[in-house]
Amino acid sequence: MPFNGEVEYLMQTSEMLTPRASDTATRVVSTMRRLGVAALPRNYELFYEAATGTNPKLAAAIAALGPRPSQQALDRVRGEFLAIADHRIVEDARETISARLDEILGLLRRDRSSMEAYGRILGETSDGLSRRGAMTREFLDRIVSVMANATTSSIESRTRLVGSMTDRSNELKAVKTKLEEYKRLADTDPLTQLANRRVFDEALARIYDSNRGVAFGALVLGDVDRFKQINDRFGHPVGDRVLQVVAGIIRSTVKEDILVARTGGEEFALVLSGRGEDATWRVAEEVRKAIEEAPFVNMANGVDYGPVTISLGTCMATQAQGAADLYDKADKALYASKNAGRNRVTRFSSLSEGDFSKDWLIYRKD
């Protein structure tokens, strides 16, 4: 199939958006492999976005890269299309913050000028009192009037300053709240409320930023077994609800220091630190058991959507050369779990060359 046809095949929304007609995750992975695209989370995110068909310019930009596009070219397209909202919101916040800080500095300068004027009045009054001999009532009345007016003016100026500073401070707090909320939304998978691909990709890369990260880092990848059958039998809304329940089980089973992310479709990932290979395997096994033992029953009508199970693969950071290699090897371990009968945890270190074929990346997720 010609390259443009390859991309067109990927972007056919009538098929891509219908779970009963096609498994989106499988088609995206298959297309990426045929185009020679590395199996990185950020690449999955890019191709998933294009696969929805809601951004034809993105699809066209990918097509323009030709077959076997470089990672640099893919990252450039991703930055152009997927980071534009981030850029706009950050720029708006930066402009607001800059404007409010300029206003605050102006208020402080005016207050300083006002206090200096008040100080001059005090100084002049003090000089007048020290130089004058006899104090007449008329003179003292004038002194009191000048001091009262100056003090009243200074108090009013300070009151206005406090009010203005409070207003500007509240505006800056609102901008901060908006940025924090946007970051939360930008980092969260909308269906499961877990961390999304972006956060996962960054966390995976950070493992290799330090020797400690490499020494104690690990990755667990999981994929819900026979998920397509759930969609086919009960429909997409039920499938979404199953993913939400699975996400909740994973998050409640593992400790808070473990990053839990939904990396696409029915795929989940755990990024761990400070644990050895045995401890990492036990974390994955606890997740597997918790999902296997959980009831997936609609309490309203009694329909049982189970059994629901998950296959997992683990890999230690020390067993990989970098983030992409770590993901690659954990995915191979996951594939080995699928190939061995599903509903199990496999360590990458336990695999031999014969445990997966060279086409392991395009195994059919079910």
Do residues 21 and 57 lie in contact, with contact meaning Cβ atoms separated by under 8 Å? no
Alpha carbon 323 to its chain's center: 17
Cis omega (within 30 of 0) on the bond before 307? yes
Alpha-carbon distance values, 243 to 152, 224, 229, 312, 349 (Å): 66, 8, 13, 15, 29
286 is catalytic: no
Q: Is 39 exposed, middle or buried (0-12, 13-18, 19+ CB in 10 A)?
A: middle
Strand partners, 268: 222, 262
Q: Which of 91, 266, 285, 292 is catalytic?
A: 266
CB 236 within 8 A of CB 228: no
- Block residue for tokens 């401070």: 169
Write the Ramachandran bin of 267: left for phi over 0, alpha for psi from -120 to 50, otherwise beta.
beta
Alpha helix positions (H), the chain? 3-10, 13-16, 24-34, 41-51, 56-64, 71-82, 84-131, 137-186, 197-207, 211-216, 227-234, 236-253, 277-293, 323-339
Instruction: Report how far residue 267's alpha carbon sits from residue 227's, in angstroms, rounded to the nearest whole number.
Output: 10
Catalytic residues: 266
